[in-house]
């Protein structure tokens, strides 16, 4: 397949289309995933190919959606359940955290839950405090759940395709501000394997460890830092469970400095865990303490200006790096 311009949304749709063509056990269920085509258009027109038996419109009940997906997965199907927003995860946390994540362990490996939970998170649409959160820390805290958060078009396709082959439940969080992002991509080209972080930009002065939309914010900051003579390395984790500490460690041991960047709130979040791991495993190589740059510990504002101010921006990253390097 030759390179073509494709959006993040289209790559996700293509991943579902290709996987469903290859595997008859894959079904999609959620609110308006069938005739309407999904809240963000990812499943648009799939019902015309696969029919209403495989694109199942459900009642407005997150516990029912995830509960049905868990049961379907236990009985031989490979369901893709869509929650319209990650903010609604709490409504289905018993089904997800107490059932899906633990069944293979509780049954001694005799039965599993090979399902994918697709959902949307993050800011950028002024959707208000109940529709703009970054709750990946909830998922990362639960053993038994895999967690993928693609930042690029190619990863949107390949990570979703791989998620649909795993024996464990995967929470697949798509950043709502990335859906319209278009990149020139060859979806047939090989990508890094599942669980491996990608070095999106090489550098020797500081390692910026991040994921999802913040990868692009970090790359913007790295460009500005380059103009100031500072070479920042940007690492895209791609998946948070599994978490590729090997790639992070190699980068930090070379640069001697690390910044962990996350859109989620600062306190007790993903950035805190990653910073602790880096501090523990790279202590002898660090020239400065690991710094976290994360979202404010506030409900996300609906005002576009306040919303933007509540999450990390490139200018803040540049300011922090320059202060760290004393330049």
For 203-260, the pLDDT digits (tens) are 999 999 999 999 999 999 999 999 999 999 999 999 999 999 999 999 999 999 999 9
- The residue annotated as part of the active site, out of 31, 82, 131, 175, is 131
Could you tell me if 226 and 173 are in contact, meaning their C-beta atoms sit under 8 angstroms apart?
no
Active site residue 226: no
Residue 230: closest CA among 210, 255, 205 = 205
Run of H or E residues at 4 = strand 4-7
62 in active site? yes
User: At the topology level of CATH, where does 198-325 sit?
Assistant: Rossmann fold (3.40.50)
Q: Is the separation of the CB atoms in 126 and 118 below 8 Å? A: no
CA separation for the pair 197, 192 (Å, rounded)? 8
Expressed in angstroms, the distance from the first to the final Cα of the chain is 46
Q: Does domain 4-185 have CATH number 3.40.50.970?
A: yes
Task: Count CB atoms within 10 A of the CB of residue 49.
Answer: 11
pLDDT in tens, the chain (327 residues): 678 999 999 999 999 999 999 999 999 999 999 999 999 999 999 999 999 999 999 999 999 999 999 999 999 999 999 999 999 999 999 999 999 999 999 999 999 999 999 999 999 999 999 999 999 999 999 999 999 999 999 999 999 999 999 999 999 999 999 999 999 999 999 889 999 999 999 999 999 999 999 999 999 999 999 999 999 999 999 999 999 999 999 999 999 999 999 999 999 999 999 999 999 999 999 999 999 999 999 999 999 999 999 999 999 999 999 999 998
> Cis (ω within 30 of 0) for the bond into 97?
no
Residues 6+ apart with CB under 8 A from 25: 76, 77, 78
Q: Which residue is catalytic, options 10, 31, 62, 307? A: 62
- What are the structural domain ranges in the chain? 4-185, 198-325
Task: Give 205: exposed, middle or buried? Use CB within 10 Å, 0-12, 13-18, 19+.
Answer: middle
Q: What is the pTM of this model?
A: 0.97
């Amino acid at each position: 397949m030759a390179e073509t311009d494709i959006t993040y949304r289209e790559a996700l749709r293509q991943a579902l289309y290709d996987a469903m063509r290859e595997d008859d056990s894959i079904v999609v269920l959620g609110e308006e995933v069938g005739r309407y085509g999904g809240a963000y258009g990812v499943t648009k027109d799939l019902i015309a190919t696969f029919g209403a038996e495989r694109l199942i419109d459900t009642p407005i009940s997150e516990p029912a959606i995830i509960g049905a997906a868990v049961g379907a997965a236990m009985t031989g199907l490979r369901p893709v359940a869509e929650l319209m927003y990650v903010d609604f995860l709490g409504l289905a946390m018993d089904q997800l955290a107490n059932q899906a994540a633990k069944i293979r362990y509780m049954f001694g490996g005799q039965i599993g839950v090979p399902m994918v939970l697709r959902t949307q998170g993050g800011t950028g649409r002024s959707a208000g405090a109940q529709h703009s959160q970054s709750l990946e820390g909830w998922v990362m805290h639960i053993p038994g759940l895999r967690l993928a958060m693609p930042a690029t078009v190619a990863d949107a396709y390949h990570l979703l395709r791989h998620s649909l082959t795993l024996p464990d439940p995967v929470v697949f969080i798509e950043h709502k501000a990335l859906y319209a992002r278009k990149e020139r991509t060859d979806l047939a080209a090989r990508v890094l394997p599942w669980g491996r972080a990608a070095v999106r930009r090489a550098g020797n002065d500081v390692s910026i460890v991040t994921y999802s939309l913040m990868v692009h914010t970090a790359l913007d900051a790295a460009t500005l830092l380059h103009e100031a003579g500072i070479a920042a390395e940007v690492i895209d984790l791609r998946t948070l469970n599994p978490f590729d500490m090997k790639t992070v460690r190699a980068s930090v041991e070379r640069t001697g400095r690390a910044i962990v960047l996350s859109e989620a709130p600062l306190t007790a979040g993903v950035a805190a865990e990653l910073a602790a791991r880096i501090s523990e495993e790279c202590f002898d190589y660090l020239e400065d303490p690991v710094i976290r740059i994360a979202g404010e510990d506030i409900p996300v504002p609906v005002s576009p200006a306040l919303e933007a101010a509540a999450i990390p921006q490139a200018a803040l990253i540049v300011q922090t790096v320059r202060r760290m390097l004393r330049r």
